[in-house]
Amino acid sequence: MFFRALQVASLCSDRMHEVVAEEVETLASGAATSPQAWRVAMERSFARVDAEAVNGSGERPSQDCRCELQPPRCDHVGSTAVVAVVSPTRIVVANCGDSRAVLCRNGAPIPLSSDHKPDREDELQRIEAAGGRVIYWDGARVLGVLAMSRAIGDSYLKPYVISEPEVTVLDREEGDECLILASDGLWDVVSNETACDIARMCLQGGGDEEEEVAGGDASCSDAAVLLTKLAFARHSADNISVVVVDLREKWKTAPTTPTRKNS
């Protein structure tokens, strides 16, 4: 079951950015400037990847693994997904589940997503309106099973667990330093403030500007590794996936940032 769950998470990582790019290309000329157009594109993207996860069409067996060793299709697994698209003027974040995106701006953390927990008031009302229940079994869980209220996959819990993302569109500012995308394995044990402080410390630790430009990717990687190690040291009990994106002035020409996931 755990291996199959990783396949859903890998599907999100492999496919989400491709699907988002395809949906953005379908927008009418100038529509990309509209927050509503971004919401529609993200909602379509998540719906498409969810359909691939549910019907198995998106599975990509490893080249190292023989097909006969692949486990059968199972509807009882899923993945959270948080996506960020960065343009020179805007940051667009779409989140489904309990992964999180946090922007570090002028030294302070700004959450760009809200965790989809079953006991979040609006999520609880939505689940109950659909005929479901939130049962407290080692925390709030949909039907006593799943500890999040939105996910890619998990078709056996639909319509209570949905794949529709919440989308945030934010204008970039000069004080934007970095963006942290991570699964709940980090956020369960590390605060937004601490994560922002650590990421900033790594990004500001380079030498002169030329060295910083050459080592920018390494600094982001160092920050992600350090945050992951901190979560392990604090005995995080969940999967830990972390991506750090440099948003400082010299990086504003970067067109997009990666997709990450949690199984």
**Predicted local distance difference test score (pLDDT) of residue 259:** 40
17 pLDDT above the threshold of 50: yes
CA angle 123, 129, 130 (to 5 degrees): 95
CATH topology of domain 2-262: Phosphatase 2c; domain 1 (3.60.40)
Strand pairing category for 78-86 and 259-262: antiparallel
Nearest alpha carbon to residue 81 among 60, 61, 53, 100: 100
pLDDT tens digits, one per residue of 122-141: 999 999 999 999 999 999 99
Task: State CA 134 to chain mean position distance.
Answer: 24
Q: From CA 184, how far away is CA 231, in angstroms rounded?
A: 10
| Interacting residues of 9 by C-beta distance below 8 A, sequence separation 6+ | 79, 239, 261, 262, 263
pLDDT tens digits, one per residue of 83-127: 999 988 999 999 999 999 999 999 999 999 999 999 999 999 999
pLDDT tens digits, one per residue of 180-217: 999 999 999 999 999 999 999 999 885 444 444 444 56
DSSP one-letter code for 31: G
What the block records as the tokens of 31 is: 């529509």
| Boundaries of every domain in the chain | 2-262
Q: From CA 77, how far away is CA 99, in angstroms rounded?
A: 16
**Predicted local distance difference test score (pLDDT) of residue 218:** 79
**Predicted local distance difference test score (pLDDT) of residue 71:** 43
Assess contact for 168 and 93: CB atoms under 8 A. yes
Q: What is the DSSP string of 127-141?
A: HHHTT--EEESSSEE
